[in-house]
């Protein structure tokens, strides 16, 4: 299962936390109510300006003064509450039989990187996207951190630093990550004859 942005959050929830589709829907509604909080008193004042050019100018002012319109703390809190402190990496196929990958973008290069809950050490580098090194630092990543990275839309929320690099929303390069899903499925199924299904 592969996703980016809110699709990445849903993929992580469905695949690693066993959320039902209804739970995904309810969490999405809860997220949208809570994560759009202005960054400061000044930001809250600017957000009260509504309509026409005033609203546009207030958002531009927030970007100039704060690098992003919304405070990252609420989205981080709700992701921590939703995913807990569970590690992204699975210990065995029995723990999380569903393999999940999310797309993030490295802020410095805008290049897509794939974070997954399975071991990709046998993969060769694919020119279309990158994988982080499968070291102890990678193995210590929390699911909520990866969810935060894949949904860090520039201008809306700050980037998040993982493994020494700043990451942002995977939807910037792969809003529909079907090509990555096909590539990953081919690598994972190379040793066995398996059917795949794409649902987008």
At residue 128, the pLDDT reads 81
First to last CA, the chain: 11
Percent of the chain whose pLDDT exceeds 90: 33
Percent of the chain whose pLDDT exceeds 70: 72
Q: Annotated catalytic, 5?
A: yes
The one catalytic residue in 47, 72, 169, 183 is: 169
Q: By CB neighbour count within 10 A (0-12 exposed, 13-18 middle, 19+ buried), where does 143 fall?
A: buried
Q: Annotated catalytic, 173?
A: no
Q: Dihedral of the CA atoms 99, 122, 181, 17 (nearest 10)?
A: 20
Q: pTM for this one?
A: 0.79
At residue 184, the pLDDT reads 86
Q: Is the pLDDT of residue 145 over 90?
A: yes
28-52 pLDDT, tens digit each: 888 887 776 655 555 445 455 555 5
Q: Is the pLDDT of residue 191 over 60?
A: no
At residue 124, the pLDDT reads 45
Distance, in Å, from the CA atom of 11 to the CA atom of 143, rounded to the nearest integer, reads 11
């Amino acid at each position: 299962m592969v996703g980016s942005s809110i699709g990445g959050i849903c993929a992580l929830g469905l695949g690693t936390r066993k959320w039902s589709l209804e739970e995904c829907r309810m969490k999405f509604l809860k997220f949208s109510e809570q994560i759009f909080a202005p960054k400061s008193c000044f930001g809250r004042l600017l957000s009260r300006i509504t309509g026409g050019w005033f609203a546009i100018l207030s958002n531009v002012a927030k970007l100039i003064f704060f690098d992003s319109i919304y405070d990252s703390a609420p989205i981080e809190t709700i992701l921590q509450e939703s995913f807990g402190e569970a590690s992204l990496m699975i210990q065995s196929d029995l723990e999380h039989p569903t393999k999940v990958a999310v797309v993030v973008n490295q802020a410095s290069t805008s290049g897509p990187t794939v974070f997954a809950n399975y071991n990709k050490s046998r993969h060769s580098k694919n020119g279309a996207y990158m994988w982080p090194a499968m070291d102890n630092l990678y193995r210590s990543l929390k699911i909520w951190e990866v969810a935060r990275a894949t949904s860090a839309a520039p201008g809306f929320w700050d980037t998040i630093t993982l493994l020494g690099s700043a990451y942002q929303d995977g939807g910037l390069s792969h809003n529909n990550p079907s090509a990555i899903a096909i590539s990953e499925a081919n690598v994972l199924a190379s040793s066995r004859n398996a059917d795949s299904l794409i649902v987008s």
